[in-house]
Amino acid sequence: MATEHDAEHDATGEADATPIGALGYEQCRDELVEVVRVLELGGLSLDESLTLWERGEALARRCEEHLAGARERVAEVLHSDDADDGAPE
C-alpha cells in the first residue's frame, strides 16, 4: 500500500523519474499537479523542496512546448483549409 511518503518520494524525482522530454502533455500535466500538491503539503526539507520545484518548472515548460506545438498544428490546418477554399475545383 502506498503511503504519503511514497507519493512525496515519487514526486520529488528521487525514484525512477522519466525524463521530461519523453513525457506527453497529459503525463506532464498530471505530474505537475502532483508536484504542486506535494509542495503544498509541506514537510519536505529545503533541498527536497527546491528539487521538486525545479522539476515542476521543467514540467510546466514542457507543457507549454506541447501546447505551442498543438497551436502550430491547428494554425497550419486552418491555413491549409483557407488555401483549399480559394482553390478552383
Dump pLDDT digits (tens) for 7-28.
455 555 555 688 999 999 999 9
Contact 39, 49 (CB under 8 A): yes
Taking CA atoms, 36 is separated from 18, 76, 77, 86, in Å, by: 18, 34, 35, 48
- What's the full length of the chain, in residues? 89
Where exactly are the structural domains of the chain? 4-86
Higher pLDDT, 57 or 4: 57
Dump pLDDT digits (tens) for 25-84.
999 999 999 999 999 999 999 999 999 999 999 999 999 999 999 999 999 999 887 777
**What is the residue type of 63?**
C
pLDDT at 80: 87
Report field, pTM of the whole predicted structure over 0.85:
no
CA atoms within 13 A on the CB side of 83: 6
